Structure 1
Amino acid sequence: MIHLGVIGTNWISHQFVAAALETKKYDLTAVYSRKLESAQEFGSKYGDVEYAIDLETFFGIEHMDTVYIASPNSLHFEQAKQAILAKKNVIVEKPAFSNPAEMDEIIQLANQQKVFFFEAARNIHETSFKKIGDLMPLKNRIIGANFSYMKYSSRYDQVLDGQEPNIFSPHFSGGALMDLGVYLIYATIAWFGMPKESHYFAKKVATGVDGLGTAILRYDEFDVTLQAGKIGDSFLDSEIYFENGTLVLDGINAISKAEFHDRNRKETDIISLTVEENPMVEEALDFAEVILNPTDKDWGLKYEEWIELARNVNKVVTTLRKSAGIVFTADK
């Protein structure tokens, strides 16, 4: 059994805890918040839970072996570092870190301390995502792709009122690319590998980060266009173009419907997909298998693949935002 601690008391933490408990491989051991009332309100739904309002006390809970971190982006690095030094495994909500320097340090430190680090990019762990990857033909048959994920954030109303909420703040490593865009880049690199060139054309908001933008990832034989945004809504499907047809996906962050339109046969194939009610169950289960089976070679190989993918996604995200002149406090 994995004894889980949680940093962050928002909706996504509730969703992850519910997913973890559903796997029957975790229990919720502790909750950290700067306000005791917030921690108690969060943990009251889960039975006997310990609470902490300072991180030293929280990481000192000996029977807690794994920490899920869902605080503002720029806080992930120091919190993950402190957790690892306390010999805890860390599951860090995407985007895990602000830049490659932070990513590299955490990976190296986790290896030294013999604990695991996971970036919680849930889409790559979903059965539907893996099935699409398995169906992917050779790259030389792909002629292009267009992935879209845009969803209006109510926090943008605060920006319009002259405020700087965390998700739109360069001090907290915010912006569209560092949120919804991460799903798109994970899918692109997982399916197609590292691009040769990466360019980002961003519409910045008053705080200096991107509200929406278009990225172009260039490969030897094709380009992938990504559209991410938090100041508007998109209802577009995502598509992968092949020599003989088009694969249409109803999303990239969570794929529940997929159709292949075959140009030669003039037919449409419906691809059968399995989707969990809680979209975080499959990542929670994958993480548990690695933690509970530390000497298993197959899970060890998968873990190394996730680490390399996380590292590459972080590199591409950083290249993209810097190409658009987006600078975070964490970069300085």
Structure 2
Amino acid sequence: MLRFGIIGSNFITESFVDAVNQANDISVTAIFSRTKEKAEAYAEKNGIPNAFTSLEEMAASPLIDAVYIASPNSLHATYAVLFMNAGKHVLCEKPITSNAKELNIMIEAAKRNGVLLMEAMKSTFVPNFEAIREHLPKLGKVRSYSATYCQYSSRYDKYKQGEVLNAFLPELSNGSLMDIGTYCIHPLVALFGKPERVQANAVMLDSGVDGKGTLILSYPDMEAIVHHSKISNSSLPSEIQGEEGSMLIDQISQPSGVRIHYRDGRVEDVSRPQANNTMVYEIQAFADLVKAGQLESTVNSYANSLAVMEIIDEARRQIGLTYPADRE
């Protein structure tokens, strides 16, 4: 039984607990929150036996084997290194950290301590992403990748009223590219590797982060276009175009419908059934790696996570988005 501790007490951690309950040989045995009242209330609500208000005490505790980090982005590296130095495995929410420099520090800590570090990018583990990967050769030579993830943030209304919440704070390494755009970039890198050139544009908000943006990513024989936004919605699917046909993907953040439209007019649905809570696949994969003594995922590998962070770093440089973490 792999025993998880959780850092964070928001909606994503409740989805994590639900997914753990659907997985095999995994449990959540501890929760951290800054206040005793909040930690104990969350523990009672979610059936977690232990509550901590000290990260150091939880890291040193024999009650957990691994930690799931769902804190603000700016804290990911500090928390991950603390727990890895204590011999705990780390599953860290996307984006895995603020920049590539911090990620290299995390990777070095994982190797030094002989523990598993993996980015919690769930979309690359779901059955329908495997369908995308398996059926991609049917498209022939791929010429274009177009990924769209535009989701109007529930926090944006408060932002327009003058209340700036975490989602729009540069101090926490936030913004549309980090929160939304990464869902478009990860599948690109997983399927096609790192691009040769990055061109980025964005609509910047007064708080200092990007509200929406576009990336053009160039490869020797194809190009990719990414649209991301936290201040508007889109109902468009994502698409991979090849010389023999195109593949339509309903939601790039968690694909559930995948269809191939061939040049001769045929349409093939290659979708696969999958759980409603798609976090279960990444959690089970993480646990299976620990059980097998593997210290790196071949799916969400160090190389892939580094490539994504380097793309985001370059895009942020071009749009003028800097974080305090960049100066540390």
Query: What aligned pairs does 1:123-138 form with structure 2 within 5 A after superposition?
Result: 123-137=123-137
Alignment of 1:117-266 (within 5 A): 117-137=117-137, 141-263=141-263, 265-266=264-265
2:300 maps to 1:319:
no
What secondary structure is seen at the aligned counterpart in 1 of 2:171? helix
**How far, CA to CA, are the matches of 2:4 and 2:70 in structure 1?**
13
User: 1:272-304 CA deviation, whole Å, 9 max, x = no partner?
Assistant: 31221211010001000111110xxxx567448
Could you tell me how far 1:44 is from its partner in structure 2?
A: 1.3
How far has the Cα of 1:218 moved from its partner? 0.5
Per-residue displacement from partner, 1:213-253 (whole Å, max 9, x unpaired)?
01111111111100011111011011111112221110111
Which residue is equivalent to 1:283?
282
**Structure 2, unpaired ranges of 5+:** none
Cα–Cα, structure 1 residues 269 and 308, in superposed 2: closer, same or farther, change >3 Å? Answer: same
Residues 260 and 193 of structure 1: CA distance in aligned 2, closer, same or farther (over 3 Å): same
C-alpha displacement of 1:93: 0.4
Structure 2 counterpart of 1:128, one-letter code: N
210-219 or 270-279, larger mean C-alpha shift: 270-279
Among all aligned residue pairs of Structure 1 and Structure 2, give the percentage whose two residues are the same amino acid: 33
Shift of 1:91: 0.7
Instruction: Give the AA of the match of 1:156.
Output: Y
Task: Note the aligned Cα RMSD (angstroms).
Answer: 1.6
Shift of 1:37: 2.1
- Following superposition, the deviation at residue 169 of structure 1 comes to 0.9
- Aligned-partner SS, 2:87: coil
| 1:321 shift after superposition | 1.4
SS in 1 for 2:154: coil
The 1:177–1:133 alpha-carbon spacing in structure 2 relative to 1, beyond 3 Å, is same
The 2-side partners of 1:139 and 1:224 are apart by 16
- Provide the C-alpha distance between the structure 2 equivalents of 1:50 and 1:305, rounded to a whole number of angstroms: 30
Is residue 331 from structure 1 mapped to residue 326 from structure 2 by the alignment?
Answer: yes
Is 2:3 aligned against 1:3?
A: yes
Amino acid at match of 1:223: E
Q: Which amino acid aligns with 2:279?
A: M
C-alpha distance after superposition, 1:145-189 (max 9, x if no partner): 211001111111232223332111110000011011111000111
Correspondence list, 1:6-21, <5 A: 6-21=6-21
Distance 1:221-1:322 versus aligned 2 partners, 3 A rule: same
State whether residues 159 and 207 of structure 1, in contact with CA within 8 Å, keep that contact through their aligned partners in structure 2: no
Residue type at the aligned position of 2:240: I
Tell me if the contact between 1:94 and 1:120 (Cα under 8 Å) persists in the aligned partners: yes
Aligned to 2:200, what secondary structure does the other structure show?
strand
Cα distance in 2 for residues equivalent to 1:119 and 1:169: 22
Which residue identity is paired with 1:114?
Answer: G
TM-score by length of 1: 0.94
**1:79 alignment partner in structure 2:** 79
Gaps of 5+ in 1: none
Query: Cα distance 1:19–1:305, how it changes in 2: closer, same or farther (>3 A)?
Result: closer
- Contact 2:20-2:280 at 8 Å conserved across structures: yes
Aligned-pair distance for 1:317?
A: 1.2
Give deviations 1:59-81, integer Å, cap 9, x for gaps: 22123110000011101111111
Greater alpha carbon shift after TM alignment, 129-138 vs 320-329? 129-138
- Give SS of 2:301's match: helix
| Structure 1 pair 18–179 and aligned structure 2 pair: CA distance change class (3 A) | same
TM (normalized to structure 2)? 0.95
On the 8 A contact 1:198/1:319 being kept in 2, the answer is: yes
TM superposition shift of 1:8: 0.1
Shift of 1:322: 1.3
Deviation at 1:97, TM superposition (A): 0.5
| Corresponding letter in the other structure for 1:205 | L
Q: Distance in 1 between matches of 2:41 and 2:298?
A: 34
The residue aligned with 2:29 is 29
SS of the equivalent of 2:176 reads: coil
Tell me if the contact between 2:289 and 2:295 (Cα under 8 Å) persists in the aligned partners: yes
Q: Which residue of 2 aligns with 1:292?
A: 291
SS at match of 2:162: coil
